[in-house]
Amino acid sequence: MKTTGFRSIVLYILLFAFLGGLGYFLVNLVLNGDKWAMQPYNGHIYAGNSTVTLGEIRDRNDNLLASTVDGARVYSDDETVRRALMHTVGDTAGYISTSVQYTMRSKLAGYNLIFGLNDTIFNKLGNNIDLTVDQNACVAAYNAMGENNGAAIAYNYKTGEILCKVSKPTFDPSNPPEDLAENEEAYEGVYLDNTLSGSFTPGSIFKVVTAAAAMERWPDSWQSITYDCAGTAEIGGDSITCLHGDAHGTQDMYSAMGNSCNIFFAHLANDLGKEALEEKAEEMGFNKEFHLGSVPISESTIDLSNANTNELGWASVGQYTVLANPYHMMVLMGAIAGGGSYVQPKLTTGSDLLGDLTQGDSRQLVTSTEASQLKSLLRSDVENYYGDWLFPEGMNVCAKTGTGEVGEGKAPNCWMVGFCDSDTYPIAFAVLVEEGTGGIESAGTVAAAMLSALA
């Protein structure tokens, strides 16, 4: 009797272990089956003569961006479209890990739990995906960047639809260059989408944050604050200079924003203190995670804990160690345009991985009062300093330019961030041109080309 009892126990243990393992496997199959099936090293999914057919990808105007023909992945007929949309659509080898073709590959392949991949009866062609981007706006931004690298991203701040997303350097996914791996100078960072995965010295576009911190601290008197600018000033034992050493004279917030007076903002930041500036920057999304569906966005960062008085001055104008990400700058502009909170951007018309997936991020980046005050400052920049002639008529653009000095003998990062204060064109944008010639000349030209294509 005793032996039988012992054997039963052993059998029961084995049975439970077996059922437990089976259960574990099944749960994992349900949760992760699509990921296992769609690993990039599962090369036959992506390569020619594939037994799995990926669905089509189209832009918002039904232009075909990618499809599968005779088992091979083919892209747009137009080489410029292929280059301009490479980071958004993806490459055949699956290196662009933030692209639609990579992040939504199981949907494109028509994977399902019961039939897996290559289900010839029920889902032979995979699923198609419609993007919110406009290929013509992407091409316009790409061409306007000329030889320069950079990022251009724009979205409808009311619906969240991303209308334009371009990153350079890039390559033609139909004809990947043979020296892609070796030629580091030409293709450094080519697999990174600069709009989502890059952070760059912001320069003067950061003055929007410094201005907002002053609005919060001095809600009734910020408009009457003035400082004198002689083109250069001793602050904290070292100099702060304005671009080209221009002496701007007595500046208030409006003229300092329009003239992009570094000395005004350096004094302002020191009156605010570094804690207040860093806190405001964090409220506005610095040091915070953002997501586009399942894709984490490279953070904009600020850390003033070790900054001295002079360094605080430089940080307030987007130098020192401050970094900004183009996607984040775009949603910040969308929040200012939208009364303080931003609408979650999305890249597909469905409710899929790169769609409107709620991540629990706080959507409010500034108060509604600050939003309307910042809007009037940014509108004044274009109306009184940059010129409305830059942009299509009636767009009522509000914007700030920046030139972020990057050192190493390189020309600056040139930025323009902004939005149209318009019900017809509810568009917010961020443009970065690396090693450009100036905020308006380099980034303004790209922003104007992009907005013209969207007009």
Our CB check for Zn ion shows the closer of 76 and 251 to be 251
The DSSP code sequence of 67-125 is: EEETTEEEE-S-HHHHHHTHHHH--TT---TTSHHHHTHHHHHT-BTTTBS--TTT-TT
- Asked if residue 166 lies in contact with residue 211, where contact means CB atoms within 8 angstroms, the answer is no
* In the complex, least distance from residue 48 CB atom to Zn ion, rounded to whole angstroms: 59
CB of residue 235 vs Zn ion: minimum separation in angstroms? Answer: 12
209 in Cβ contact with 288 (< 8 Å): no
By beta-carbon proximity to Zn ion, the closer residue of 229 and 454 is: 229
Chain residues that interact with Zn ion, rule: CB under 5 A = 229, 242, 248, 261, 263
Whichever of 263 and 343 has its CB closer to Zn ion, that residue is 263
The answer to whether 312 touches 270, Cβ cutoff 8 Å, is: yes
Nearer CB in complex with Zn ion: 87/267: 267
Judged by CB, which is closer to Zn ion: 2, or 244?
A: 244
Contact (Cβ atoms closer than 8 angstroms) between residue 432 and residue 415: yes
Phi-psi region of 158 (alpha: psi -120 to 50; beta: other; left: phi over 0): alpha
Least CB distance to Zn ion at residue 251 (A): 6
- Kindly state the smallest distance separating residue 383's Cβ from Zn ion, in Å: 20
Residue whose CB is less far from Zn ion, 186 or 230:
230
Of 216, 168, 175, 246, whose CA–CA distance to 446 is shortest?
168
Q: How far apart are the first and last CA of the chain?
A: 88
Determine contact, residues 271/258, Cβ cutoff 8 Å.
no
Cβ-based nearer residue to Zn ion, 148 or 255: 255
Token duo for residue 239:
């100099």
Distance of CA 1 to the CA centre of its chain: 72
Please, what is the minimum distance in Å from the beta carbon of residue 317 to Zn ion? 10
User: Residue 171 CB, nearest distance to Zn ion (Å)?
Assistant: 42
Helix ranges restricted to H, 145-218: 184-187, 194-197, 207-217
- Residue 303 CA, distance from chain mean position: 21
Least distance from Zn ion to the Cβ atom of residue 60, Å:
43
Compute the distance between CA of residue 215 and CA of residue 367 in angstroms, rounded to an integer: 10
Half-sphere exposure for 121 (CA within 13 Å, toward CB) = 3
The two three-digit tokens of residue 115, written as one number: 């039939």
**Amino acid at the residue 30:** V
Q: How near is the Cβ of 404 to Zn ion at its closest, in Å?
A: 17
C-beta of 183 vs 250, nearer to Zn ion: 250
Question: CB-wise, 77 or 228, nearer to Zn ion?
Answer: 228
Other beta carbons less than 10 A from residue 335's beta carbon: 25
Distance CA 439, CA 120 (A): 54
- Which pair of tokens denotes residue 89? 């659509």
Helix (H) or strand (E) holding 321: none
Nearest-approach distance from CB 415 to Zn ion, in angstroms: 18
Residue whose CB is less far from Zn ion, 301 or 380: 380
CB of 426 to Zn ion, least distance (A): 33
Q: Tokens at residue 61, please?
A: 């105007």
The nearer residue to Zn ion, 107 or 267, going by C-beta atoms, is 267
Query: Residue 229 Cβ, how far from Zn ion at the closest point, in Å?
Result: 3
Placement of tokens 């290196």 in the chain: 95
